[in-house]
Structure 1
């Protein structure tokens, strides 16, 4: 035999073919998985020589020992003679291999597939599992670090210590200081889960509901039997709830022994002493309270007696402390690479017509939905919905409702009695979350301590006339809230928040819409339109209420009044009104006014949102000045990455950097045709700038344009400004040069609020046509023109 080649024996080929069937692979799929061509696979299964690295890789993937497959190590079956207790390490190794061979079909059958949500058939683990990371510092145990979450700008210079943590927790925080994603602004270093499994013997893996704890243990069992990890171990996966309810209350050792065949049980003690068992214990939090002490004691006794074995236990992060003396780690939220890997596998598993790239692009453009994708179970839900519709639903409130129901369905029932929380109906639980969300959001408490939460909960239960309040154990009730579904989580010791800001905002919206005082709450909400933190709540409410007219008109009134008393700003609004009046009627005047508002510079992204909401295009302009203004604004937008990031978060309109760049080129061509006879120097400068874009003008790739703008944008825009501002300066840029900081802030809030109003208008299909017409016709008008419009309409109605 050549040193560089190996050949499979007939028995080795037989074992390989069995493994291939168990893994539900064809030889072609095996080749694809390994990145090999078909010939090496064919030679392997036909008993011909192949390169040793290919041989070993094929065997490892099939979960086989390459030495046995090629005959370098003799294969033994368990005979009466071999069934005697092993006398040395070599015989033990052979017995381990035989046991692994015996249980491989069972491990593959029981743990090689997973049930996902409401799909009719289980999915192959290989087709859906992605590598996950863990945090070595459990978030609920953080204390001083939590000060960072509670940071407020006025307190930046304060010397913070443990003594004033309590003071900080009770202070409101700025919305900008809150990371929308579930971990908040504290970013711990994460570690691949397999590294932790290799580095530590005993692990307590903590995770929120839906974070993939059970799937992880299934994956570890399958990888172990395939020799991907701990190849000299025998994996045993036990559901702790089933163990706790087993007849006769067996010890953990007795329960594990039942997992072995009769002929193998005599070796169990030796295997345990030698450290050849991988114990995987799932769902410590699922064990009933009445059994938890006994189960925990069994795990501790077992792990302390057989210290050479690896034991991995999973538990929800909010469950009670169990003092196992294991290394505690926490499953990290999914990040962009993991989300991409999951989506790619999901949409490839059954040759779906949906492209993973389309899913990821829409997901990236909506930061609120992207939040949910950080949790594996909710990411699967998003994939399922997207696969059915080919897009995310226009009505995001329904999507959030489905996500909430997905988590609530995971709640467990208590044996031997129940808590007051478990006796609540799903509807009552959702009302409770809505109440907590509304009260804390109004008081700007995105994070709240345990005493604050208990106070709100007690008030809700009393006002809701929940029976049996005399049995209320508020500490246990609070523990159940966070342990059951992951909607509320413990961020640090006795400090809580909703797991996602999206859920917080959704439940606030529900409380407003479903309240018996809805009209009053809607009126108060309309007055919040100038506060950015209420934007998502207002958008969600606009989707959820049927009678939206009064709500939108109240919002419009607040927006208009916000700048009505500032004469400088009103002067600029009048100028915009006059300029827009001279433009073509191809597009609504509100869109033209929004475009000119963009010339202020500050808040131009919101002006662009409004213009695009009305599908404004540069071709609607009828004069050269307007086209040149468009060039300045569009180029500035394309060159400012921060604006693109902001638009991606607002999700108020669809954007495409490549399409916008090509539209810019078309506008340049129109401007060149008009400039040639008017101002040759400007035409020449613009022509040179146009030539810089020739190489890319046909590209549909956002990536290509992103790279171009990042490398060349600032210089290109600067030259464009030099070329065009002298032509336009007297007419355009002098009029608003005197705005101070307060006025600038008012303008930004004014434009942002109008963008939200337009988005609400687009989302609602129930708006009265008269109300819609009034809002669109008076949008961005000076206050005197708004009063004139309303006066005219009143006279028109009387006539």
Structure 2
């Protein structure tokens, strides 16, 4: 192949006319030659529109204070073999200075931008990852990236600090990626720093962000006075070339020699935007040479703007002039924007159903904070219209992407620090860590503890896998797992966690399932059942039930645990009442559902059961339950009035009073059909209430009435409800009994959920377990 390259330049006719005017500052053209220390013949050839050496052409134009690109005749170029052009480039670029190269004009910078626009669009304009059937245009799915100016792993925070930020509400599901700093728009940060190192977890969107920078720049929307140059460091490392200047100019020479020459000029004068992608993707055999090449290139052309991307923990070399930032996880707004763009060409309701499914499934929502895993979720939902029926299968697929598929599909070779551990053993190591830490109630763990886990685990492996004299630095293995798979993340200095709590839960369940298939089956299942009342273990139970080939043993152990919990006398008293109450209700509804609804109705506010997942979402219960709900509402409003009477404003007092009166009217109407004898008593209670007016002036009269006879009125109300509806009892439970009943209720809920998630349930197990829930011990007899 022959490319065009000019070792010589000649002036154009228009250029000579400008040069003849400019040379008037010299007495003669001979004086010009003497000042530049070049031969008179060279100057004569210049003004005769004959070719002269490029360096001398530049010198003459500089002396005349003329831009050489506007003087030279660039329409005629000499055909040169690539080897000659390479030699010329090497000769020029090895100079200690480039003072002979004139400043590029804005017009010429824009000319070069126009010439490379097609190449930038080809390099950066589309995206295809995972199981995409075809590439997608980047602009149609790109979502704004946000950056953290302070690296998470360099924060001086201890574990209590992280727990405080991660668990805002006691007993709530921990959010492991909560950050105390506000992320900034990515483009603002790039514009602010001339040397920027962008670090991120696997799948965080580093390459996509860098490509979008190149697209926005070439389209004139961002740093329009610069020429974007996008380089995949992995591709560069796989070429024999170790000089970025030669690599770049060779790429531009495929367009034209002028483009190659202008690229050199742009680099020398600092008008380029260098985007170096994937420092972590360089193979271990090339890593040192590439680091050296980057360092030399940045030092040589320091006036340009540089952005480098690399995975967190994979960067073992410090570029002193660079500011390091971290890509923040997606927040809910970014997830929404991504989904809107992804499903823009699909059925209108598909995006809405996707977002609704995410909102209802917080564990899966955690995965969506990673752009790569969010893409996986979109692909799954796009095919099926729902998330995988098996949450365990979705977790497994997500982990496979991070453990193997993402690198394998891009043919990336990583460090050998833990290559003696096959994929199965990496997962096993992580499952040991997950279960042990979760049993301790730890979501964050210190680096030294992890290193000890790694050391102990490797010692237990057979000699066929790890040689007895094979010493591997545990810290290096930990850093390799973090950098290569992102399954352990440094949240602060020396403090780690799993990237998402659902991964912590999945690995813990995986450890239990693998042990449950061996001789330690019952012991590990019992370890799980010991946490049946802990809401943080709910997902572990569900995932275990999904993955177990036979769930009968686990179901039996949960039932036995429930029976032990229910032995408390006060709980038996509650369950006995619950049985009496529900047996007196005439309905075709499921017995467990009915017991659950009445337990929530009677003790829900006392036990905070409103935060629990409902045992059933059916709305088929009417009649008795509707009346009882209204009566409980009247009691609740009366209590609220008691609490608000002293300090609440008049308008609020009247609002509560009107709500109470309205609820009483509704209850009276309902009781006429369900319990006529109760209706007469409610009418009498209604007659005792003072007439309520909307004006605030009547609030003092109502306050006065409520403070005097209200005690007798509320006592009578409660007495009536207890007598006629067996509701509204004063249980007088201790704090311990409240916690016990709350845990028991959640455990019953969990058992039902487990049975719904179970991969295999015997025909008799499901109805028996469901029918025995929330019964006193004398009736349950599991």
TM-score range, shorter chain: 0.7 to 0.9
Deviations 1:8-54 (A, max 9, x none): xxxxxxxxxxxxxxxxxxxxxxxxxxxxxxxxxxxxxxxxxxxxxxx
Q: 1:417 to 1:759 in 2, by over 3 A?
A: closer
Cα offset, 1:323, TM superposition: 0.7
Query: Structure 1 CA distance, aligned partners of 2:72 and 2:674?
Result: 92
Q: 1:414 to 1:451 in 2, by over 3 A?
A: farther
Are 1:447 and 2:444 counterparts? Answer: yes
What is residue 712 of structure 1 aligned with on the other side?
Answer: none
| Of 222, 234, 246, the match for 1:241 | 234
What is residue 480 of structure 1 aligned with on the other side?
Answer: 480
Query: Structure 2 CA distance, aligned partners of 1:608 and 1:375?
Result: 28
What is residue 602 of structure 1 aligned with on the other side?
Answer: 606
Query: Structure 2 CA distance, aligned partners of 1:78 and 1:340?
Result: 54
Residues 447 and 497 in structure 1, CA contact (< 8 A), matched pair in contact too: yes
| Of 538, 542, 547, the match for 1:544 | 547
Query: Structure 2 CA distance, aligned partners of 1:671 and 1:182?
Result: 51
Query: Structure 1 CA distance, aligned partners of 2:767 and 2:204?
Result: 47
TM-score by length of structure 1 reads: 0.72
Cα offset, 1:205, TM superposition: 0.2
Are 1:503 and 2:506 counterparts? Answer: no
What is residue 144 of structure 1 aligned with on the other side?
Answer: 157
What is residue 334 of structure 2 aligned with on the other side?
Answer: 338
Query: Structure 2 CA distance, aligned partners of 1:315 and 1:685?
Result: 75
TM-score by length of structure 2 reads: 0.73
What is residue 656 of structure 1 aligned with on the other side?
Answer: none
Cα offset, 1:756, TM superposition: 0.8
| Of 370, 373, 376, the match for 2:368 | 373
Query: Structure 2 CA distance, aligned partners of 1:590 and 1:80?
Result: 88
Residues 131 and 192 in structure 1, CA contact (< 8 A), matched pair in contact too: yes
SS at match of 2:251: coil
- State how many pairs are aligned: 632
Q: Superposition pairs for residues 377-776 of structure 1, below 5 Å?
A: 377-408=372-403, 409-411=405-407, 419=416, 421-465=418-462, 466-468=465-467, 470-474=469-473, 475-515=475-515, 516=518, 517-564=520-567, 566-598=568-600, 599-600=602-603, 601-603=605-607, 605=609, 609-612=613-616, 615=618, 617-619=620-622, 621-622=623-624, 625-628=627-630, 670=670, 678=680, 679-680=682-683, 727-728=720-721, 732=726, 735-764=729-758, 766-776=760-770
What is residue 41 of structure 2 aligned with on the other side?
Answer: none
Cα offset, 1:387, TM superposition: 1.2
Residues 113 and 122 in structure 1, CA contact (< 8 A), matched pair in contact too: yes
Q: 1:279 to 1:368 in 2, by over 3 A?
A: same
Deviates more, 1:669-678 or 1:772-781: 669-678
Cα offset, 1:781, TM superposition: 0.9
Are 1:122 and 2:173 counterparts? Answer: no
Cα offset, 1:525, TM superposition: 1.1
Q: 1:373 to 1:576 in 2, by over 3 A?
A: same
Q: 1:283 to 1:725 in 2, by over 3 A?
A: farther
What is residue 64 of structure 2 aligned with on the other side?
Answer: none
What is residue 206 of structure 2 aligned with on the other side?
Answer: 213
Residues 206 and 330 in structure 1, CA contact (< 8 A), matched pair in contact too: yes
Deviations 1:74-130 (A, max 9, x none): x99996169999999996212111111111111112210001211120110011101
Residues 180 and 500 in structure 1, CA contact (< 8 A), matched pair in contact too: no
Residues 597 and 604 in structure 1, CA contact (< 8 A), matched pair in contact too: no
Deviates more, 1:437-446 or 1:312-321: 437-446
SS at match of 1:737: coil
Deviations 1:354-391 (A, max 9, x none): 52121111101111011000000001111111111111
Query: Structure 2 CA distance, aligned partners of 1:604 and 1:617?
Result: 24
Query: Structure 2 CA distance, aligned partners of 1:110 and 1:140?
Result: 32
Residues 420 and 471 in structure 1, CA contact (< 8 A), matched pair in contact too: no
SS at match of 2:419: helix
Residues 631 and 668 in structure 1, CA contact (< 8 A), matched pair in contact too: no
Cα offset, 1:430, TM superposition: 2.0
Cα offset, 1:681, TM superposition: 6.8
Query: Structure 1 CA distance, aligned partners of 2:195 and 2:611?
Result: 57
Cα offset, 1:492, TM superposition: 1.9
What is residue 194 of structure 2 aligned with on the other side?
Answer: 201
Deviations 1:571-618 (A, max 9, x none): 1211111111112351222211111211113345369744415x3633
Cα offset, 1:313, TM superposition: 0.3
Query: Structure 1 CA distance, aligned partners of 2:481 and 2:719?
Result: 64
Are 1:227 and 2:240 counterparts? Answer: no
Cα offset, 1:511, TM superposition: 1.0
What is residue 363 of structure 1 aligned with on the other side?
Answer: 358
SS at match of 1:421: coil
Deviates more, 1:230-239 or 1:430-439: 430-439
Residues 513 and 544 in structure 2, CA contact (< 8 A), matched pair in contact too: yes
Residues 242 and 290 in structure 2, CA contact (< 8 A), matched pair in contact too: no
Deviations 1:635-693 (A, max 9, x none): 99xxxxxxxxxxxxxxxxxxxxxxxxxxxx9999856765896434778999x99xxxx
SS at match of 2:252: coil
Query: Structure 2 CA distance, aligned partners of 1:586 and 1:146?
Result: 52
Deviations 1:485-520 (A, max 9, x none): 111111122322111111010011011111232332
Q: 1:414 to 1:491 in 2, by over 3 A?
A: farther
Structure 1 vs Structure 2 CA RMSD = 3.8
Query: Structure 2 CA distance, aligned partners of 1:629 and 1:738?
Result: 20
Q: 1:682 to 1:426 in 2, by over 3 A?
A: farther
Cα offset, 1:229, TM superposition: 0.5
SS at match of 2:357: helix
SS at match of 2:314: coil
What is residue 148 of structure 2 aligned with on the other side?
Answer: 135
Residues 112 and 263 in structure 2, CA contact (< 8 A), matched pair in contact too: no
Are 1:313 and 2:312 counterparts? Answer: no
Residues 435 and 507 in structure 2, CA contact (< 8 A), matched pair in contact too: yes
Residues 597 and 607 in structure 1, CA contact (< 8 A), matched pair in contact too: no
Query: Structure 2 CA distance, aligned partners of 1:633 and 1:395?
Result: 43
What is residue 24 of structure 2 aligned with on the other side?
Answer: none
Residues 572 and 736 in structure 1, CA contact (< 8 A), matched pair in contact too: no
Cα offset, 1:231, TM superposition: 0.5
Between Structure 1 and Structure 2, whose CA radius of gyration is higher? 2
Q: 1:724 to 1:203 in 2, by over 3 A?
A: farther
What is residue 709 of structure 1 aligned with on the other side?
Answer: none
Residues 603 and 751 in structure 1, CA contact (< 8 A), matched pair in contact too: no
Residues 609 and 742 in structure 2, CA contact (< 8 A), matched pair in contact too: no
SS at match of 2:589: coil
Q: Superposition pairs for residues 66-77 of structure 1, below 5 Å?
A: none
What is residue 188 of structure 1 aligned with on the other side?
Answer: 181
Cα offset, 1:415, TM superposition: 9.7
Residues 149 and 177 in structure 1, CA contact (< 8 A), matched pair in contact too: no
Cα offset, 1:623, TM superposition: 7.0
Gaps of 5+ in 2: 1-68, 79-97, 639-664, 693-713
What is residue 641 of structure 2 aligned with on the other side?
Answer: none
SS at match of 2:147: strand
SS at match of 2:450: helix
Deviations 1:230-268 (A, max 9, x none): 111111111112222321x42222222222222222233
Residues 111 and 219 in structure 1, CA contact (< 8 A), matched pair in contact too: yes
Residues 566 and 776 in structure 2, CA contact (< 8 A), matched pair in contact too: no
